Each structure stands twice: as structure tokens, then as C-alpha cells.
Amino acid sequence: MLRPAQSLTLFVALTIPQGVKANGFPQAEDLPDIEEVLQRAGWTMTPEMSAAYSQPGNIFDENNALLKRGVDCFDAQAGPPAAYASMEVNRSLEAGVRMRVLIGGGKAGLGIEKKLVFDTPKHRQIPRLDLQLNTGCWEVFDDLIATGEDISGFYVITESLSAVVQKQECGSFDVKARVFVVSGNAKVQQSCAQTSLEPVAVAYKRVPLSKLLRRPPRQPTANTIESPPVVEHQQAEASIEGHFDTIDINTDVQSRLREQRCDEEAQQRSVQVREGRIDTAVLQAQTQAMEVFQGIEDDLETCTQLKRSERGECIQTLSSWMDQAKRMKVSIPAGVELVDTACGKRDAAFEAAERTVESSQIGRAQDILTRLMRTDVAGCGEPGSSLDLMGKISMSEVDRAFRSSPAVQGCLSQWRQRHRLDSWQLLLNVRLTVGNDGSVSCAQCLSEHTSIDEPLKACVVDAAYKLRIDVSGGPVNVQYALKAVGR
């Protein structure tokens, strides 16, 4: 299990209208990021929830490798686990939290989020004043310093927080909608659905080892007799009065240069970490969009075999998916990243970043939409002349039916919102076949202007099939110009 990172916001709310098969989505829920919960309480998330972090007194290097066990270096030891007293941490862990993980391992692994539910956490601690290195352990690290070893990144665990994992699921979390979406990948869920019989290390607090490396006091030798001071008689020597011993550079230039380089290294690595997380989120967005599309693809293919008047719901479903899948927004907020450098771990700040991506399934979806939009083989008949239509149908009645239709007005509203139009004008030619009962048996949109997109045409055609128009001696074929202007 990897250490969770800064939370990523992924805006991919792919909704499926009723009547089309797709994977279900859970209801909204409050699912905080586990690292944020722990940081607010003063804790550090454990790497991979290793058991070594549950033992206060254990000593680690800057790469989180265990150097010495606490029982070998401290006479004082932590007592048995006790219930932790923080209500916020307890409530969050018991109700459920989320964290970033990598399924599959290596560069080919899939970055997703995991939902975890814990039992009541347990707390262990060695009081700070009892953290006194014994002589043997002190000498080990003193020898390292004498050989030039940099121990600035070494640290000692002072407190640990452990808990039993009761439940865990893998998927993704929509921060804006507050929804956790369980992955439909069976292999992912199989590797994810695990619990623990024993508590796992959740978080820890630490202190730099350098603060504990004080030389032990020297012990006087027993049964020794102090000799009287020896007085030496020497000739008088000449002296020089001067103050050159006070001339010195009080700052360690080499140390400052090293610190500067480490700060630069930390900044570079934080950018790499941020870009890596965005790449992982992009993969997650692509995976989620693909899973939703695959869940409706078979039904959409079947829908192409229906009459054009029966395809409205399928066209609406696919158009809704495409509208979102063309503009999937992935972002990471500004924050501070803890990274490894030659000087040990450093905090590096980074700016917010955002990326908009398009689903890899758009081409396939566009092909299906084109086939869904096709009219029936026979098509609508050629419109009759004014003389032929006289007494059979009134064009003012056709105009009234279109302008009073909530469905048609909804089509225009959605079109304006998609293109963010403040001022606009529209001319959309619609060909209709109206039967004896006033129902529309065929509808086509003939306009080819670039501003009139396919979703608008599909929406107006679907709305036309729902109209009722008074006719006499039908069926009749007419062509109607839908005009609209907005400022």
C-alpha cells in the first residue's frame, strides 16, 4: 500500500438516463482523505502501513528504512495499546476514509482510490523526556557521524496509531459530488477486498535523532587520589597584543550552499510528483469514461435498428455521455509536498495545476451517434405546394405547436448553454410528415450551418415526434422554418 498523496479533484460526472443499462452509482457520502484527517491531528501517515511504525522508539533513516529497534536503544518502552482520545480521528476512521493506492504495481499499475473503514484506533507512546539513548546505541550513531555520515534525516518514532481494517473497497471519489464510485473491474475488487485480523500501523509522530544525540556524562573513576598540581618554572616570554582571533565568518558557507541545492532539488521533485499524480488521474478518468461507455454500447447498437422515432432516448443518452467525455477536467490544488532530498525530507510548495482531456472512446461514440441520427430508409416525403396544402394544414398552427412545446424550448436552452451564447439567432429547417390523427410520423432537420450541432438536431427531431398538429385529409408533408433570436 502506498502512502496517500495530495487529494486530486476529478470532474467526470457521467450520468445515464433511465431506461439504458449501465453500472449503478452509490448515493452521496462524506468521505474525507485519510492523510488530511491525520495531519490536522498532528500525525504523519505511515508508508505502506508497515508494522515497524507501530513500535515507538524505532529509528529510521530519511528513506524510511528501519535502522534500530527501540528495545535496543532505549531503556524506557511504550506501554500496551490504549484507546485513542481524539474524537475527530476516531469518528473519521470508523465511518470511512479514502486514500490513493496503486493496483498492479510498477509503471503499468493503475492508480485508483481506496475506501477504508477501521475499528477504534489504539495509541502507544514513549514520553519525550524518557527518550534517552543508551550508551551502546549512542556510540553506534556517533561513529557514523565521525565517518562523515549525514544523519539529518534520521528520526525516532515517539507515538504510534494502529487500527484493525474492517472493510476496504477500490474505485474513485468525485470530490464535487461527494460520491465514491466502486470500480467495476473484478480483479481490482478481488485484490482490494481485504481486512486485517490484527491492527495495522496507521500513523506516527517523530523527533529528529540529532536532538537525542547528546554525549552521556562521564563517570568519575573509583579509588583514585588526585595528585597535587605541578608547578613549572619557565622563562618569561614576549607577548603580542592583537585581535585577529575574533576575525571569522560566523556562518557555514558550504552548509548554506548545500541547503540551497537541497531546496532546489525538493522543488524539482515536487513538480515531478505533481505531474505523476495528474497523469494517474487522467488514466483514472479515461478508465471511468470507458467503463460507462462499455456499459451502454450494446444497447446503443441495438437502438440503431429501431425506427427513428423510437431512438430519442438513446440519442439523448449518448449525447450526454459525449458532452462530458469530451471535456473531462483533472486538477490538483496548490499545496506542500514532502519529498526526499540529499539533505533528508523537505517540504516543497507547488502551484495548482489543471488539465482537460478527451475520452479515447469518442471516435467510436461518434460513429454510433451518426447511425442513430439517420432517418428511416423511406425518409420524409417532399413537402407539398401551398396549393396542395390549402385547407389541409395551417403553417401558423405548425408554428404555434413548435413555439409552445416545452421540449423544443428545452432544446434551444441546452444549445445556448453548450455554446455559451449571449446574443444569437437561429434558423432551423424541419421537414415533417403529419398523419390523419395529427401525430408526426417522420421528422428531419435539414440545416447544415456550423452553429447547429448534432445534439440540437436530435433534440428537435425527438421533440417533433411528440407534437400534435391539426390536419384535414392527411397525411401531409410540410417543411417548417424554426426561427429564434436572443439578445
The Cα 482–Cα 403 span in angstroms is 9
Report percent pLDDT > 70 for the chain.
80
* Least reliable range by pLDDT among 180-189, 220-229, 361-370, 476-485: 220-229
Q: How confident is the model at residue 338 (pLDDT cuts 50, 70, 90)?
A: confident
Q: How far, in whole angstroms, is CA 194 from its chain's centroid? A: 22
Range 379-486 has CATH code 3.30.2420: yes
Among 12-16, 147-151, 202-206, 244-248, name the one with the lowest average pLDDT: 12-16
Contact 180, 31 (CB under 8 A): yes
Report the range of poorest mean pLDDT among 65-79, 289-303, 416-430. Answer: 416-430
pLDDT (0 to 100) of residue 241: 58
Task: Determine the average pLDDT of the residues in 152-162.
Answer: 91
**The three three-digit cell numbers of residue 166, written as one number:** 474492517
Task: Quote the radius of gyration of the chain (alpha carbons, Å).
Answer: 36
Q: What is the pLDDT of residue 102?
A: 63
Quick one: average pLDDT of 59-77? 89
pLDDT tens-digit series, residues 195-223: 677 888 999 999 898 888 865 533 444 44
Give the residue with greater pLDDT, 464 vs 102.
464
Across-strand partners of 439?
A: 468
State the Cα–Cα distance between residues 305 and 453, nearest whole angstrom: 23
3-state secondary structure at position 117: strand
Higher pLDDT, 188 or 377: 188
d(CA 174, CA 479): 46
Q: Is a pLDDT exceeding 70 seen at residue 472?
A: yes
**What percent of the chain lies above the pLDDT cut of 90?**
12
Residues 6 or more apart in contact with residue 146 via CB below 8 angstroms: none
* pLDDT at residue 252 in the model: 60
For 28-39, how does the pLDDT look when each residue is reduced to its tens digit (9 = 90+)? 357 888 888 999
- When the pLDDT of each residue in the chain is averaged and rounded to a whole number, the result is 78
Residue type, 354: E
| pLDDT, tens digit, 9 for 90 and up, residues 251-290 | 467 777 777 888 888 777 777 777 888 888 899 999 999 9
What pLDDT score does 155 carry? 92
Among 165-174, 287-296, 300-309, 364-373, name the most confident range: 287-296
pLDDT at 193 over 70: no
Residue 298 C-alpha cell reads as 450494446
What is the predicted pLDDT for the residue at 238?
A: 66
- Give the residue, 420 or 255, on which the prediction is more confident: 420
Q: Please, where are the H alpha helices in 53-194?
A: 70-73, 87-95, 135-146, 186-192
The secondary structure of 433-455 as a DSSP string is EE-TTSBEEEEEE----TTS-HH
Task: Please give the model's pTM, rounded to 2 decimal places.
Answer: 0.39
The answer to whether 398 and 478 have CB atoms below 8 angstroms apart is yes
What's the pLDDT at 406?
92
Q: Comparing C-alpha atoms, which of 286, 278, 275 is closest to residue 326? A: 286
Neighbour tally for 469: CB within 10 Å = 22
pLDDT(233) > 70 = no
Q: pLDDT band for 292, please (50, 70, 90 cuts).
A: very high
